[in-house]
Structure 1
């Protein structure tokens, strides 16, 4: 098969850190408050700017607070779990690697006893009707490593007694989050906004705040996780007074990303861009003789972290090790060509590809990528067949 002529203008299809916004350059960071204290007026103002603009873009309701916390999305989720869990039984939903990671934290680190793990395999959702509204529930809105997302928040009871703790790192700014059904929500800058790593965002609703102020977990609380003072919410955390020293360069980059998001139509515009990228892949998959979606049900298919499976009967006849090698070699081939970077599927997922389709990716680049996917697959398959002959 002949190499395609047209190449993506931006070959960054990694699922995290993700592509920078279109037109980005280091000049966008020229106003960064470098060499200044993050506790100085300028530092606090910039941190608060990220918080306020994020709240507005996401349509966060009144009564919610939003803070910048250490450790990226992982730190934000663990901060929520360590601070909020333990009062009630817990349901943990897991259908990919990050959800499974929260299961490990809850059962082996916090060592909670009254825990139900509700699981499904890669490409599927667990039975959401099994969630008990009297329990706290921990889940990912979008499974980054499986390409499967919850379709909405309808499965969460409006009159629930437990809290919902939602890891929304590859859903925030790309999907409509049902804030009325959520109590604690986390994400990071390096996903849909294309920002830099290390910083997480933690949003708490009124019910989560009430839990913080009325319940003290029985385990030691690391300093980085402490959100209360004298039994009351430490409001400074949610006004830009971060728990540890943030990178003001990364903060400036987040400000730039939020400004770009506003310029493309806010949340609605970001969602439209993501859906357009998925639609481009769906059109290609519909005609493909070798690729399919890991998430076969369109209702639960992610439009940010899109995971592709290999459905070619030839591939099914390979050994498990050979199957792992095919997408690895395909990804390396495209990286060497400067066409697509970091698109091999997640190490724990079934062998396949993972293509980031978040808002910072141009649909024209997704369209330019698909003929290269066909070329790379045909090339790798021919190499395998030649070696086996």
Structure 2
């Protein structure tokens, strides 16, 4: 038996069950993005996003170009510069945000680092500083277990990259001032558009703070020195894909029909549990995340612990994983199971809500087979 839906990529992720391109409305394709009907449709997408994700009423949502990366960058370029900055960097994207703050914004941040598979000491987060952190490390399979490390009476802003956590994990909204995510992760939307949810404190910062650097147009959240409130009504900074937006609305409507956020989290947890059953009975693999309390339930990253593989040099371990990938893809049993290119060589299995638990259970024997074949070829 093979997974009926063998798509385990960590982005873009599997489309929602039952997806069909024919289900997407075509009436607005070819229209200008400033047309009232198009702006209204984009606004409808923001409303559905708010409803499904349970974003607080006093937060504003805005579409941004460049997927989650663009949304995070817009927050960094538009909000930082008025106070000291901390960046939590325990995986690839946290390291990227730290580099951007240091090398491009020319702010010398305090960087809270940890080795792959671990969280840094989150008690070191300073409520007097702006802090940037990923809720879930897409490339390391490590997540924060909660937001207890964030002070409720902080003076700094908290910018949270939640792209592989939104719609799959409980986000502690009162502790977060900017929450960014993309269409292409948890709900299987098409790539290219990100969303930023801004708290009243973040909007106030935009209204009162002028960054000491020029902000590129595609990252600009302000107009005439204040937050551009038109962005919260479905207006876009530049030309966005109407098809991509209709696909996002389709995913949100499926999520609402399925039972909303609680069901999405439950489906994700069930998928991660199905994969865990295989990990626990398999002697050649283990989690990259060291602490069970910080293991991701979406981007589950695995390391190969068999000494025949661990004894290889890094390039050979990478080639071993690529051979396993080629084997299962050649059989149509699974696609895109390799870890991120900057992470230690290993496997990464997406277990978000658009994946079916039965497909995860069916995947395990194929991974065992691919490992056995690849080892025999060493």
Q: Fold conserved (TM > 0.5)?
A: yes
Query: 1:246 & 1:50 partners in 2: Cα distance?
Result: 13
Q: Indicate the residue corresponding to 1:310 in structure 2.
A: 304
SS in 1 for 2:179: strand
Question: Which ranges of 4 or more aligned residues in structure 1 deviate by more than 4 Å?
Answer: none
Match of 2:66 among 71, 79, 83: 71
SS in 1 for 2:249: helix
TM-score, normalised via structure 2 length: 0.98
Counterpart among 232, 240, 264 of residue 238 in structure 1: 232
Aligned length: 378
SS at match of 1:69: strand
Q: Is the 8 A contact 1:228 1:234 kept in 2?
A: yes
Contact 1:54 1:258 in 2 (8 A): yes
* CA positional deviation for 1:326: 1.3
* Deviation by residue 1:213-251 (Cα, 9 ceiling, x = unmatched): 111011011122222223332111111011111100001
RMSD of equivalent CA atoms: 1.0
Q: What CA deviation, in whole Å up to 9, does each residue of 1:53-103 have, x standing for no partner?
A: 111111111211001111110000000000000101000000111111101
Secondary structure at 1:186's aligned position in 2? strand
Aligned to 1:111: 106
SS of the residue corresponding to residue 171 of structure 2 reads: coil
The equivalent of 1:3 in structure 2 is: none
CA separation in 1, counterparts of 2:201 and 2:285?
44
Residues 1-389 of structure 1 mapped to structure 2, 5 A cutoff: 6-113=1-108, 115-384=109-378
Shift of 1:32: 5.0
SS in structure 2 opposite 1:68? strand
Contact 1:212/1:228, CA 8 A, preserved across alignment: yes
Q: Does the residue aligned with 1:378 lie in a helix, a strand or coil?
A: helix
Contact 1:70–1:200 at 8 Å: present in 2 too? yes
Unaligned runs of 5+ in 2: none
In structure 2, C-alpha distance between the alignment counterparts of 1:80 and 1:9, rounded to whole Å? 39
Instruction: Give CA-to-partner distance per residue, 1:269-295, whole Å, 9 cap, x none.
Output: 000010001001111111111011111
Any conservation in 2 of the 1:32–1:248 contact (CA below 8 Å)?
A: no
1:102-155 alpha-carbon deviations (Å, 9 max, x no partner):
011000011113x10110111110110111110000011110000001111111
Write the distance in 2 (CA, Å) between the matches of 1:370 and 1:228: 49
In 2, the alpha carbon distance for the partners of 1:338 and 1:235 equals: 47
**Structure 1 unaligned residues grouped into runs of 5+:** 1-5, 385-389
| Distance (Å, rounded) in 2 between the aligned partners of 1:316 and 1:251 | 44
